């Protein structure tokens, strides 16, 4: 069983995966190649002068994989709870088990709705529906979290990536039973 399954490997999902994998949590990302970020050109992402969306997404996924996350290029079609805890995720031909699930599905909320996750109207331009989360990124179902566009934050990559990182740190902290921080020092 994975510690965390992340649905969506755009800025929110891959950013979360970098943190959970670096924390030693068994992490799997699912990606269906329907993200909005590949259509964008970025000049407002702190620390990056300019970059095309396809490069940003590819670098993010590679960074998550280098950190230890697995990437499955599969569409998650259903989620169901497992007796005794955790969830089963079903894709086109396979099934996976995870203790926690993070939705980072961008504009897509159909899977969340079919799994009984509470949604609400979006507030950001062109975002009709979002998953209802608390300040930690938790949904109405214990063990299921959401981050990024689908969690209702402002639709800018630095914010969606940061929101994914925030949710990941909260999940890691819950798994560890204490607040988590991931800092490294300059090598001299």
Ligand X SMILES: Cc1cc2nc3c(=O)[nH]c(=O)nc-3n(C[C@H](O)[C@H](O)[C@H](O)COP(=O)(O)OP(=O)(O)OC[C@H]3O[C@@H](n4cnc5c(N)ncnc54)[C@H](O)[C@@H]3O)c2cc1C
Letters for 122-161 (x = contact with ligand X by CB under 6 A, - = none) are --------------------------xx-----xxxx-x-
Name the minimum Å distance from CB 88 to ligand X. 14
111 binds ligand X (CB under 6 A): yes
Name the minimum Å distance from CB 85 to ligand X. 22
Long-range contacts from 66-70, C-beta under 8 angstroms, 24+ separation = 67/17, 67/18, 67/21, 67/22, 68/21, 68/22, 68/24, 68/27, 69/6, 69/14, 69/17, 69/18, 69/20, 69/21, 69/27, 69/28, 69/29, 70/27, 70/28, 70/29
> 175 is written with which tokens?
């798994």
Q: Using CA atoms, how far apart are residues 124 and 60, in angstroms rounded to an integer?
A: 24
User: Which of 6, 17, 18, 35 is in the footprint of ligand X by CB under 6 A?
Assistant: 35
Stretch near ligand X under the rule CB under 6 A, chosen from 25-33, 61-69, 137-145, 170-178 = 25-33
Cβ distance 106 to 149 under 8 Å?
yes
User: Which of 76, 117, 144, 171 is in the footprint of ligand X by CB under 6 A?
Assistant: 76
**Nearer residue to ligand X within complex by CB, 113 or 182:** 113
Q: Please give the residue ranges that form the binding site for ligand X (CB under 6 A).
A: 7-13, 30-37, 39-40, 42, 44, 75-76, 104-106, 108, 111, 148-149, 155-158, 160
């Amino acid at each position: 069983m994975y510690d965390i399954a992340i649905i969506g490997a755009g800025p929110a999902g891959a950013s979360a995966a970098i943190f959970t994998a670096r924390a030693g949590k068994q992490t799997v990302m699912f990606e269906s190649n329907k993200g909005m970020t590949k259509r964008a050109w970025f000049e407002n992402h702190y620390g990056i002068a300019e970059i095309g969306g396809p490069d940003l997404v590819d670098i993010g996924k590679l960074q998550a994989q280098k950190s230890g996350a697995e990437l499955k290029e599969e569409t998650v079609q259903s989620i169901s709870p497992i007796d005794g805890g955790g969830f089963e995720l079903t894709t086109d031909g396979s099934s996976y088990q995870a203790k926690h699930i993070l939705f980072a599905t961008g504009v897509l909320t159909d899977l969340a709705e079919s799994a009984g996750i509470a949604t609400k109207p979006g507030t950001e331009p062109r975002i009709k529906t979002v998953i209802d989360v608390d300040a930690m990124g938790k949904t109405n179902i214990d063990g299921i979290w959401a981050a990024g566009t689908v969690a209702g934050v402002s639709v800018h990559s630095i914010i969606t990536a940061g929101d994914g990182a925030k949710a990941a740190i909260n999940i890691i902290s819950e798994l560890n039973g204490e607040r988590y921080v991931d800092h490294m020092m300059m090598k001299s």
